[in-house]
Amino acid sequence: MKILGGYLKGKNYFMPKGIRPTQDVVRKAVFDILGQDLNGLSLLDLFAGSGSVALEAVSRGAQRVVCVEKDLRCAQIIQENLSLLKISTQEMDPKAWVIHGDVFLVLQHLNLQGKKFDIAFLDPPFELEMAKKALKTITEHDILRPACFIVAQHSKREILPEQSGRFSIIRQKEYGSSVVSVYEGS
């Protein structure tokens, strides 16, 4: 896989076997919606897989990214990708963190720590249909800043609500068997 835009454009990174990666066309669409310049923003990448969305965000100027992944092998590959692309994970000034754990428990923990993000991206396994539950959990915790976005990539079979807490859907588009739903916070 390759980074599509920003200062790392064209750089390759590792893709774990057995996952459904966020397709290039979907990643491009997500960043067309969010903007090409994420300078100073923070992104939370849930069900991160290879970390492709977080890597793309760093390349486009995101100040901080946090990748949450339950599968240990995938979490290790995200760490390898960060190292390969020379993205700082140093404790003193990390640009990226990888959290190996259950998304729902991590969201509670981030809330208790008072962490805040500008963008949350979620792409749960389609066969488990967890996008609605993840969206509800995100909106129930105070981890997103007032002017923020939630981007959910989910199966066409899983219909997400028009409204979730203070978030309203502003755009939705189908890409093959998946849908990208974009929510904006008020």
DSSP annotation of 108? H
Domain presence at residue 174: yes
Domain presence at residue 1: no
Check which CATH number belongs to the domain holding 115 and give it: 3.40.50.150
Q: How many domains does the chain have?
A: 1
Domain presence at residue 3: no
What span, in angstroms and rounded, lies between the C-alpha atoms of 84 and 86? 6
- Place 19 in a pLDDT band, splitting at 50, 70 and 90: confident
What span, in angstroms and rounded, lies between the C-alpha atoms of 147 and 40? 14
Between vectors from CA 133 to CA 128 and to CA 136, what angle results, nearest 5°?
A: 160
Q: Is 112 exposed, middle or buried (0-12, 13-18, 19+ CB in 10 A)?
A: exposed
Look at residue 151 and tell me whether its pLDDT is greater than 90: yes
Domain presence at residue 10: no
Q: What percent of the chain has pLDDT over 70?
A: 99
Domain presence at residue 151: yes
- Place 16 in a pLDDT band, splitting at 50, 70 and 90: confident
Question: According to the model, what pLDDT value does residue 93 have?
Answer: 67
Each residue's pLDDT tens digit, 35-57? 878 999 999 999 999 999 999 99
Q: What percent of the chain has pLDDT over 90?
A: 80
Domain presence at residue 19: no
- Residue span of the structural domain in which 140 resides: 24-185
Each residue's pLDDT tens digit, 74-116? 999 999 999 999 998 877 668 999 999 999 999 999 999 999 9
Domain presence at residue 154: yes
Domain presence at residue 6: no
Task: Name the one residue in this structure whose structure tokens are 């979730």.
Answer: 164
Q: Is 154 exposed, middle or buried (0-12, 13-18, 19+ CB in 10 A)?
A: buried
Q: Which residues partner with 162 through β-bridges?
A: none
What span, in angstroms and rounded, lies between the C-alpha atoms of 153 and 120? 11
Question: According to the model, what pLDDT value does residue 92 have?
Answer: 60
Look at residue 62 and tell me whether its pLDDT is greater than 90: yes
